[in-house]
Amino acid sequence: MGDDFPPCELNRIEQGQFYGWPYANGNRFPDPDFGEENEKKILNSQPPAHGFGAHTAPLGMTFLRGQRWPDFLQGAALVALHGSWNRSEKSGYKVVSLHFDENGAVTEKPFISGFERDDDVIGRPVDIAEDPKARFYLSDDFTGSVYRVTYKDEKGL
Protein backbone atom coordinates (compact mmCIF):
# COMPACT_ATOMS: atom_id res chain seq x y z
CA MET A 1 0.00 0.00 0.00
CA GLY A 2 2.96 2.29 -0.55
CA ASP A 3 6.17 3.35 1.13
CA ASP A 4 4.56 4.61 4.32
CA PHE A 5 1.63 2.26 4.86
CA PRO A 6 0.80 0.05 6.60
CA PRO A 7 2.94 0.74 9.64
CA CYS A 8 4.51 -2.11 11.56
CA GLU A 9 3.10 -2.31 15.07
CA LEU A 10 3.55 -3.63 18.58
CA ASN A 11 0.40 -4.82 20.32
CA ARG A 12 -0.22 -5.44 24.01
CA ILE A 13 -2.11 -8.72 23.75
CA GLU A 14 -4.97 -9.33 26.15
CA GLN A 15 -7.23 -12.36 26.07
CA GLY A 16 -10.49 -11.76 24.27
CA GLN A 17 -9.43 -8.50 22.61
CA PHE A 18 -9.52 -7.78 18.87
CA TYR A 19 -6.67 -5.88 17.19
CA GLY A 20 -8.22 -4.96 13.86
CA TRP A 21 -6.65 -7.33 11.39
CA PRO A 22 -7.56 -7.86 8.57
CA TYR A 23 -10.10 -5.03 8.64
CA ALA A 24 -7.75 -2.31 9.87
CA ASN A 25 -4.06 -1.45 9.82
CA GLY A 26 -2.09 0.60 12.32
CA ASN A 27 -4.22 2.80 14.54
CA ARG A 28 -7.62 1.68 13.22
CA PHE A 29 -7.08 2.75 9.59
CA PRO A 30 -9.55 0.80 7.44
CA ASP A 31 -7.91 -1.69 5.12
CA PRO A 32 -8.74 -0.81 1.49
CA ASP A 33 -9.79 -4.40 0.74
CA PHE A 34 -11.45 -5.48 3.98
CA GLY A 35 -12.32 -2.31 5.93
CA GLU A 36 -15.43 -1.26 4.09
CA GLU A 37 -18.60 -2.29 5.94
CA ASN A 38 -16.57 -3.29 9.02
CA GLU A 39 -16.52 0.11 10.70
CA LYS A 40 -17.97 -1.22 13.97
CA LYS A 41 -15.30 -3.92 14.24
CA ILE A 42 -12.61 -1.35 13.50
CA LEU A 43 -13.98 1.14 16.03
CA ASN A 44 -14.02 -1.58 18.72
CA SER A 45 -10.50 -2.82 17.96
CA GLN A 46 -7.53 -2.19 20.22
CA PRO A 47 -5.00 0.32 18.85
CA PRO A 48 -1.31 -0.63 18.76
CA ALA A 49 0.75 -0.02 21.89
CA HIS A 50 3.46 1.36 19.59
CA GLY A 51 3.80 2.02 15.89
CA PHE A 52 7.03 1.40 14.00
CA GLY A 53 7.71 2.80 10.55
CA ALA A 54 6.14 1.03 7.60
CA HIS A 55 8.07 -1.94 6.27
CA THR A 56 10.79 -1.79 8.95
CA ALA A 57 10.07 -5.45 9.79
CA PRO A 58 10.47 -5.67 13.57
CA LEU A 59 11.44 -9.31 14.04
CA GLY A 60 13.22 -10.07 17.31
CA MET A 61 12.36 -8.43 20.61
CA THR A 62 13.73 -9.06 24.08
CA PHE A 63 13.27 -7.33 27.42
CA LEU A 64 16.57 -6.64 29.16
CA ARG A 65 16.58 -8.24 32.60
CA GLY A 66 20.24 -8.03 33.64
CA GLN A 67 21.02 -5.77 36.58
CA ARG A 68 24.32 -4.58 35.11
CA TRP A 69 22.67 -2.53 32.38
CA PRO A 70 22.60 1.24 33.00
CA ASP A 71 19.43 2.70 34.51
CA PHE A 72 18.11 3.98 31.19
CA LEU A 73 18.01 0.38 29.87
CA GLN A 74 16.44 -1.27 32.91
CA GLY A 75 13.13 -2.78 31.79
CA ALA A 76 13.63 -1.65 28.20
CA ALA A 77 12.99 -3.90 25.23
CA LEU A 78 15.41 -4.13 22.34
CA VAL A 79 13.86 -4.68 18.92
CA ALA A 80 15.71 -5.78 15.78
CA LEU A 81 14.35 -3.92 12.75
CA HIS A 82 15.26 -6.26 9.90
CA GLY A 83 14.66 -3.59 7.26
CA SER A 84 12.54 -3.01 4.23
CA TRP A 85 12.84 -4.62 0.87
CA ASN A 86 9.77 -3.09 -0.73
CA ARG A 87 10.20 0.66 -0.28
CA SER A 88 11.64 3.20 -2.68
CA GLU A 89 13.83 4.43 0.22
CA LYS A 90 15.23 1.88 2.66
CA SER A 91 14.06 1.93 6.27
CA GLY A 92 14.86 -0.15 9.36
CA TYR A 93 18.23 -1.97 9.41
CA LYS A 94 18.89 -1.14 13.07
CA VAL A 95 18.13 -1.99 16.67
CA VAL A 96 15.92 0.30 18.74
CA SER A 97 15.14 0.36 22.44
CA LEU A 98 11.57 0.69 23.68
CA HIS A 99 10.95 2.35 27.04
CA PHE A 100 7.64 1.93 28.87
CA ASP A 101 6.29 4.50 31.32
CA GLU A 102 3.99 3.77 34.27
CA ASN A 103 0.91 4.24 32.03
CA GLY A 104 2.18 1.85 29.37
CA ALA A 105 3.14 4.55 26.87
CA VAL A 106 6.12 3.54 24.73
CA THR A 107 9.06 5.69 23.67
CA GLU A 108 11.36 4.42 20.92
CA LYS A 109 15.06 5.37 20.90
CA PRO A 110 17.86 4.46 18.50
CA PHE A 111 20.25 1.87 19.92
CA ILE A 112 22.46 0.26 17.23
CA SER A 113 22.68 1.53 13.68
CA GLY A 114 25.05 1.27 10.73
CA PHE A 115 23.55 -1.74 8.97
CA GLU A 116 22.55 0.46 6.03
CA ARG A 117 24.70 3.30 4.72
CA ASP A 118 23.89 5.50 1.75
CA ASP A 119 21.35 2.97 0.46
CA ASP A 120 23.87 0.14 0.77
CA VAL A 121 22.69 -2.69 3.07
CA ILE A 122 25.56 -4.28 5.00
CA GLY A 123 23.51 -6.11 7.64
CA ARG A 124 19.99 -7.11 8.64
CA PRO A 125 19.32 -7.55 12.38
CA VAL A 126 17.05 -10.48 13.15
CA ASP A 127 16.88 -11.43 16.82
CA ILE A 128 18.30 -10.56 20.22
CA ALA A 129 19.03 -12.81 23.19
CA GLU A 130 20.37 -11.75 26.60
CA ASP A 131 22.61 -13.96 28.71
CA PRO A 132 22.85 -14.03 32.55
CA LYS A 133 25.98 -11.84 32.53
CA ALA A 134 24.24 -8.80 31.01
CA ARG A 135 25.46 -9.34 27.50
CA PHE A 136 23.26 -9.77 24.54
CA TYR A 137 23.66 -11.41 21.19
CA LEU A 138 22.34 -9.97 17.94
CA SER A 139 21.91 -12.18 14.90
CA ASP A 140 22.33 -10.82 11.37
CA ASP A 141 21.04 -12.99 8.53
CA PHE A 142 22.56 -10.83 5.81
CA THR A 143 26.14 -11.56 6.88
CA GLY A 144 25.44 -14.78 8.77
CA SER A 145 26.90 -13.21 11.91
CA VAL A 146 26.08 -13.13 15.60
CA TYR A 147 27.35 -10.07 17.43
CA ARG A 148 28.01 -10.05 21.19
CA VAL A 149 27.21 -6.70 22.79
CA THR A 150 28.43 -5.90 26.29
CA TYR A 151 28.25 -2.94 28.64
CA LYS A 152 31.10 -1.66 30.75
CA ASP A 153 30.22 0.71 33.55
CA GLU A 154 32.30 3.73 34.54
CA LYS A 155 34.59 1.43 36.55
CA GLY A 156 35.27 -0.70 33.48
CA LEU A 157 33.35 -3.68 34.89
The predicted pLDDT at position 78 comes to 97
Q: Give pLDDT, residue 157.
A: 47
Per-residue pLDDT of the chain (157 residues; tens, 9 = 90+): 778 888 899 999 999 999 999 999 989 999 998 888 999 999 999 999 999 999 999 999 999 987 888 888 988 999 999 998 888 889 999 999 999 999 989 999 999 999 998 889 999 999 999 988 878 999 999 999 999 998 776 554 4
SS3 category, 78: strand
pLDDT of residue 80: 97
- 82 neighbors 124 (Cβ within 8 angstroms): yes
For residue 157, CA distances in Å to 57, 72, 107 come to 34, 17, 28
The predicted model scores a pTM of: 0.88
Question: Which residue from 113, 125, 114 is spatially nearest to 61, judged by alpha carbons?
Answer: 125
